[in-house]
């Protein structure tokens, strides 16, 4: 199967919403390492568990990526 941002988002969302936050984070890192750019949906799926699980440094990283990619002002990401 061909990978794209939608596929990565589905996996990250599934893992993060079912209690596998560390695995979701690992998928996100793999996504970046393979050259895929996160979308607003990617970040929206990562930020809640960063806050809930105390992943402060990861949350800062996500915020930095949002700022650098221009997604920080996206209405989904801002909320």
Q: What is the pLDDT of residue 45?
A: 85
Q: Which of 22, 24, 26 is nearest to 44 (CA)?
A: 24
- Number of independent structural domains in the chain: 1
Which DSSP helix (H) or strand (E) runs through 36?
none
Helices (H), 1-79: 5-17, 21-33, 40-52, 56-69, 75-78
**pTM for the structure as a whole:** 0.77
Residues 6+ apart with CB under 8 A from 27: 8, 11, 12, 15
User: Which residues constitute the domain of residue 27?
Assistant: 5-78
Q: What is the pLDDT of residues 23-74, one digit of tens each?
A: 998 999 999 999 998 988 888 888 777 776 777 778 788 778 777 876 666 6
């Amino acid at each position: 199967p061909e990978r794209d941002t939608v596929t990565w988002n589905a996996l990250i969302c599934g893992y993060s919403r079912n209690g596998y936050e560390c695995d979701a984070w690992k998928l996100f890192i793999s996504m970046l390492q393979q050259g895929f750019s996160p979308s607003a949906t990617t970040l929206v799926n990562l930020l809640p568990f960063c806050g809930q699980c105390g992943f402060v440094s990861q949350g800062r990283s996500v915020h930095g990526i949002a700022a650098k990619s221009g997604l920080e002002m996206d209405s989904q990401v801002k909320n």
